[in-house]
C-alpha cells in the first residue's frame, strides 16, 4: 500500500474577494485560508520559502479552530455598542518581500496541505502613471467643431453685411 506520489490531505489557498476580503495579496503579506475544522485543536505549522532563499518555518502559530454547528457561519460585524460578532477568515503571513514568489505549506500533525505557489504584489511607482490627455470624447469634438464653424460663419456674415450696407449707401 505504498503511495508512489504524495497526496494532499487538505487544501490551502489564498483568500479572494468571495471570501469577504478586498484582496489576499498585499505587498508584504499574504492571507491564507485556514485548515479544515475536522483537524480541530491540533497545532498548525507553516513552512514557506522564497524561491531563492531557505525554508522558513513558523511553528505552532495557532490551533485549528473547532467546527461550528453550522459550517459556513455567516455573521456580520455588528456595529452597535452592545456586541461584536466576528468570524475567522484566514491567517496572515507577514514580513514578506514585495514582488517575490513564495511557496507555502501547512503541516498539521501528520497531515500536510498542498504547496501553494503565489507571489506578493509588486508595488509600482505612482509617478509612472500616465496622466496625459486620454482619448478626446465625442462631446468635446462636436462642441469644438460646431462652435468654431459657427463663430467663423457669423464673423464672415457680419463683415459681408457691414460691407454691403456701406457699399450700398
Residue numbers of the site for other proteins (CB under 8 A)?
17, 20-23, 26-28, 31, 76-77, 79-81, 84, 86, 89, 92, 121, 123-127, 129-131, 133-137, 139-140, 143-144, 146-148, 150-151, 153-155, 157-158, 161-162, 164-165
Smaller CB distance to other proteins: residue 24 or 35? 24
Cβ 164 to other proteins shortest distance, Å = 7
Cβ 32 to other proteins shortest distance, Å = 12
Smaller CB distance to other proteins: residue 2 or 70? 70
Smaller CB distance to other proteins: residue 8 or 149? 149
Contact predicate 104/35, CB 8 Å: no
Residue partners of 123: CB distance under 8 A and separation at least 6: 27, 98, 99
Contact predicate 22/31, CB 8 Å: no
Residue partners of 135: CB distance under 8 A and separation at least 6: none
Smaller CB distance to other proteins: residue 11 or 84? 84
Report the C-alpha gap between 45 and 29 in whole angstroms: 17
Contact predicate 33/15, CB 8 Å: yes
Amino acid at each position: 500500500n505504498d503511495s508512489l506520489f504524495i497526496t494532499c490531505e487538505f487544501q490551502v489557498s489564498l483568500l479572494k474577494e468571495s471570501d469577504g476580503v478586498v484582496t489576499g495579496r498585499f505587498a508584504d503579506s499574504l492571507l491564507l485560508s485556514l485548515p479544515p475544522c475536522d483537524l480541530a485543536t491540533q497545532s498548525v505549522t507553516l513552512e514557506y520559502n522564497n524561491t531563492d532563499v531557505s525554508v522558513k518555518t513558523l511553528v505552532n502559530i495557532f490551533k485549528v479552530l473547532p467546527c461550528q454547528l453550522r459550517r459556513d457561519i455567516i455573521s456580520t460585524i455588528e456595529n452597535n455598542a452592545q456586541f461584536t460578532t466576528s468570524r475567522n477568515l484566514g491567517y496572515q503571513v507577514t514580513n514578506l518581500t514585495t514582488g517575490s514568489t513564495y511557496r507555502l505549506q501547512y503541516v498539521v500533525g501528520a497531515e500536510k496541505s498542498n504547496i501553494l505557489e503565489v507571489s506578493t504584489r509588486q508595488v509600482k511607482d505612482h509617478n509612472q502613471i500616465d496622466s496625459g490627455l486620454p482619448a478626446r470624447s465625442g462631446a468635446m469634438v462636436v462642441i469644438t467643431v460646431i462652435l468654431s464653424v459657427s463663430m467663423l460663419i457669423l464673423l464672415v456674415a457680419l463683415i459681408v453685411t457691414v460691407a454691403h450696407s456701406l457699399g450700398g449707401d
